[in-house]
Amino acid sequence: MYDTHQFMLPFFKSFTWLQFIKKKTTSTPTTNSTTTMTSMTSMTSMSSMSNAISSLGGISSLGSLGSSNSKQLLFYFLISWLLFLDACPLRQGFPYYHKLCHLTGGMTSPSTPVCSTDHNHTPPILTLPPGLTNLRNTCYLNSILQSLFSLTPFSQLFLPQSSSPSSPGLYTFEKESFGEEFQRFFHQLESTRQSTVTVFNRIVSPLGIAKKLQIDISTQEDAQELLLRILELIDDSLLPTEKTSSGGMKKDKKQKKKQVKPITMEEIEDVLLPSATMKMYLQQNITCIKHAHIASSKILKHLDLSVPVKGMRTLTRAIATAFAPEILNDRENLYKCDEHGYVETKKSIALLNFPRIFTLHLNRFSYDPLNYIFKKINDPLDIPVQLNLREYCNNEKLLSNEPRAGIYNLSAIVIHQGSIERGHYYTLAKVLKNPKDECQGYHWIQCNDHMVSTMTEEQVLKIAKGEINTRPAVTSYEKVYGTDAVSTNAYLLFYTAVEQ
């Protein structure tokens, strides 16, 4: 439930300002803006606000000022309520105070450069993405959708490619397909973010996406499995297309006058599919230890990299462990070499490319063979804001031609709160303060279903790291499943490549 004091605070402040305006209207026509704001901000206690309402005499007293003044004061009251709405939890982090000041010229003016070095006089205009409705148990769906929307290299593929909001995205999807619904949903998110509607209209429902996925809204599912499923369905929804000279998708019907040989989806997969922004190619070699020759080599395609958490302490160490060579020497894993029969081998993997978005899946759920149950691993893990993956790549041409290839910045995190039996997902994302002006920089936000608010980087890294729950088990449920019912830590990490 909402806190009564916080909910009513904007109304009390509005009455205080209204009382001040009423006195000035009945006495002198001039006011001092500095004195006005001081009067408004000084009366914040419950007692002083109650006295203000009593002295005001209620809304009915406005009639004595005349119909024109009553309408004007009513307008001032509504505007003042919006200006003080930052104290109201219904605001859910949407900066209406900044927007109204910007629209009325109270914060910046068109003649003032936004990238001015004097940031004290030109604070940034915050433009937060809309929240998403939790249909019942669909927080895992919301967390993935909000993460994908915050990742610019991915979301820009589905947003209008020109200044016209009605223009399509980069791709053309089959009618009534999941990809078409996904693109429509991203268009709705973007148009809502750019709008100045009230807070109640800044919440978007993912019902259309849920229907296309055919998910049971009463059942919680795994966020990582859903991410892979969404990417697969988007690729499958893509229409068969023609390859253009620029390597992009051809959408202009006039260009079809040229006779271009149609190609299959497999031929364009590496370049043109939406999942290409996240797809990594790994070379897996199995080397015979005794005879020092490569017995097998193949290319693996992955949309994410799973890394261990238990005892790792840092993400850097977890990644190194995932890429570490594995010795296959037990009877079940012995490799049959064509030349020497069953031999001990070493299996190693290395990156062949650096996708624009590098996705990491933290293995926080493991099977306990003693109790025959799955448990959540709550070991804390330090998450760096920047990763260097160059040492795990064996593509020498790529490394030599692009010095900054393999450098990634942390951009989004899917947080899991709870245990394997029950829990909640939400997203932490680093987005532009103003998508229309990169000069204003980035900030971290928390997308918790319909609630969207700003956070500091220090808060984000602390939540993502998590901590071990040392509270002793009390109930029979806790003795079996552990005391991790309220644990909070990172589950999925999204890193975006540093621009060359």
pLDDT of residue 120: 46
Return the structure tokens found at 168.
């399509």
Q: What is the CA radius of gyration of the chain?
A: 28
The span from the CA of 340 to the CA of 124, in Å, is 68
Q: Please give the sequence-ordered ranges of beta strands (E in DSSP) within 96-165, or none if there are none.
A: 131-132
Name the residue with higher pLDDT: 369 or 212: 212
Mean pLDDT of the 236-252 span: 51
Q: Which CATH superfamily is domain 131-239+273-497 in?
A: Cysteine proteinases (3.90.70.10)
pLDDT value, residue 29? 44
Integer Cα distance of 238 and 463 in angstroms: 37
**3-state SS class at 310:** coil
Q: Return d(Cα 282, Cα 85) in angstroms, integer.
A: 51
| 393 φ/ψ angles, rounded to the nearest 5 degrees | -110, 135
**pLDDT at site 490:** 97
Confidence (pLDDT) at 255: 37
Question: Could you tell me what percent of the chain has a pLDDT over 70?
Answer: 61
Q: Is 420 in a helix, a strand, or coil?
A: coil
* Pairing mode of beta strands 305-308, 357-363: parallel
pLDDT tens, residue by residue, 114-145:
344 444 444 555 678 999 999 999 999 999 99
- pLDDT for residue 334: 74
CA distance 348 to 353: 16
Q: Are 447 and 427 in contact (CB under 8 A)?
A: yes
Residues of the chain with CATH 3.90.70.10: 131-239+273-497
366 token code pair: 């493991």
* β partners of residue 465: none
Q: What is the mean pLDDT of the chain?
A: 74
**Cβ contacts of residue 431 below 8 Å, gap of 6+?**
129, 150, 442, 443, 445
Residue whose entry in the numeric block shows the structure tokens 């608010």: 453
Please give the pLDDT value at position 341: 73
Q: Give the model's pLDDT for residue 224.
A: 96
Give the model confidence (pLDDT) of 272-281 as tens digits: 688 999 999 9
Tokens 């918790």 identify what position?
Answer: 448
